[in-house]
Amino acid sequence: MYRKLVGLTFLLLAGEVILKAQQNSTLFFMRSTPQANFVNPAVRNECKWMLGLPVISSLHLQVGNSAFSVMQVLKKQPDNTYAFDGSEVMSNLGQTNYLNAELHVNLFFLSLWRNDIFYTFSVNEKADLFLTYPHDLVAIAWQGNTQFEGQHSDLSRLGMFFNYRREYAFGMAKQPSNNFIWGMRAKLLFGKLNTSVPRSKIDLFTAPATFDLYFNDNIRLNSSLPINVQRNPNNTISNVSFNGNVGNILMNRNNIGLAFDLGFINYRSDRVTVSGSILDLGLIRWTTNGYSFNQDGQYVYHGPIGDTIQESTYLKYLTRVLKDEFGITATSRSYFSFLIPTYYLGTTYKLRDDLDAGALVSGKISRFRVTSGLTFSVNKDFNRKAAVSLSWSYLYRSLNNFGAGIKLGQSPIQFYAVTDNVFGLIKPLDTKNINIRFGLQLNFGCSKTEKKISGCGCSWLQSEEEKRERERKRKK
C-alpha cells in the first residue's frame, strides 16, 4: 500500500499539472503545533484541552502570482525611477496563469479530549481570491491583435473566484487501531460576499488584412455583492451602484453553506508515516443581492473608421461597442458556488526519535485543472518545549522558496510562526509568493514527562502507546 501511495505522488508530479504555491506546506508536518489540525483534521493536540485567543490564536496571510514578481516587471532607470517592462511580463507567462490571495482569521478555537476521541470547535473569518488568466489575453492587451492575424485566440481560461465567509467548524479525530488515525471536520458556512465565473468560453479570431475582430463567447458571472443593478427592458445593464454597509455585510446570515475536511495519518512502520487530507469540500447558496451576468453570442468589431485615430477616441469607441453591442444581461437570482478544495499528500521518515524528514505534494482543485506544489522539510522537536521546521519548495515556477516554522512553549502559553517563503517576508516585491501564519494559544493538562509518546497523538494516553509497543515486539 505504501509503495502505491508513493507511486501516486510521483504520478501527480509527472502528469500535466501546474506547480503552484500552497499556504501551509511547512505547517503540515509541524504536528506538535495545534494549528496543524487546520490542514489535517487527523492531527491531535497532546494536551487535554486548548483555548485559542480571539484573532491572535491564528492569523494567516497569503499572496501569490504564478507568472512574475513585481520587480521582474518594474525596471529601475538611470534616474532611479521605475518603468513597466511588458516584454518581461510576456516572457514569464505560462499558458494559464494564477493569482491568489487569502486572509484567514481565527476568532475562536477550542480542542479537548473525551475518552479516546479528540474534539475541536473553531470560528473563522476567511476571504479568498483566486484568478486565472490565459496567455493570449495578456498578449492582446500588451501587443495588440496583429500577431494573431488569421488565427484564433483562446481566452476560455479566464476565471475568477472571490469568497468571503464565516465558518463554524466542528471536528473530531480517533485512532481506531495502533497504526491509523482518521479525522473529519464539518463546517457550517455563512457567506458574506462572492463573485465567481462558472462559465467562460471565449474565442477571438483576427481577420487577415482587415484585422476585424470576431468574438464568439459564452460567459456567466455570478455575484452576491452590495450593489444595485438597473436594467433596460431587455435586461441589459444601464447602471450599477453601490448599496451597503460593513455592519450589514458582517451580520448577514442568509447565504448558508456546508463543507467538510477529511484527513488521515497512517504509521507504515516505526520510521515511515503517510498522511493526507482534503479540505473545503462544499458549497454555499447565495441569496443576498444575487445576480447572474451573461453574455452569449457572436460579434464583429470593425474598429473606428479613419486613417488617424487618437488613443482616447479609440478607447471611447471601444467602450461604446462593448456596452451597446455585446449585450451583457443581468438577472436577479440565487445561485450556488463551490469552494476550491485543497489537498495534501505526504510522507515522513524518522531519522531519530526527535527528528524526521518529510516530502509533500499539495495543491488546489480549480475549475480548469488540478494544480500542484512540491515541498521537502526537516522537522525537529526539542523535548516538546520547542519545535523547528525547515523547508524548501518548488512553487510558482520558482526555486527560491525556503520556508521555516517555529513553536515555543507548551503549557500554559504556546507561540508559533510559520512561512513557506522566508525571502518573501524580507523582500516581498522580489518574490512570487508571500505567506505567513502565526499566533498563540493556551494549553492545559499537558504531560510533564520528557518521553516522546507519539508524533501526532496524545501524550497523556500512555496505555495506547504502550499497547502499540507490545504489539510491535510481539510481531518481531
pLDDT of residue 456: 43
For the chain, residues with pLDDT lower than 70 are 1-23, 143-145, 303-326, 367-369, 448-470, 472-476
Q: What's the pLDDT at 218?
A: 82
Which pTM was predicted?
0.80
**In the prediction, which pLDDT does 21 show?**
41
CA dist., res. 284 & res. 64, Å (int) = 25
Among 467, 449, 433, CA closest to 66: 433
Measured distance CA(471)–CA(476) in Å, rounded: 9
CA distances from 440 to 41, 44, 373 (A): 19, 17, 28
In angstroms, rounded to a whole number, what is the distance separating the alpha carbons of residues 369 and 178?
A: 37
- Nearest residue to 219 (alpha-carbon basis) of 326, 72, 369: 326
pLDDT of 147 reads 75
| Alpha-carbon span 51 to 54, nearest angstrom | 9
Q: What is the pLDDT of residue 11?
A: 34
Scanning the structure block, which residue is given the C-alpha cell 456546508? 258
What pLDDT is attached to residue 55? 81
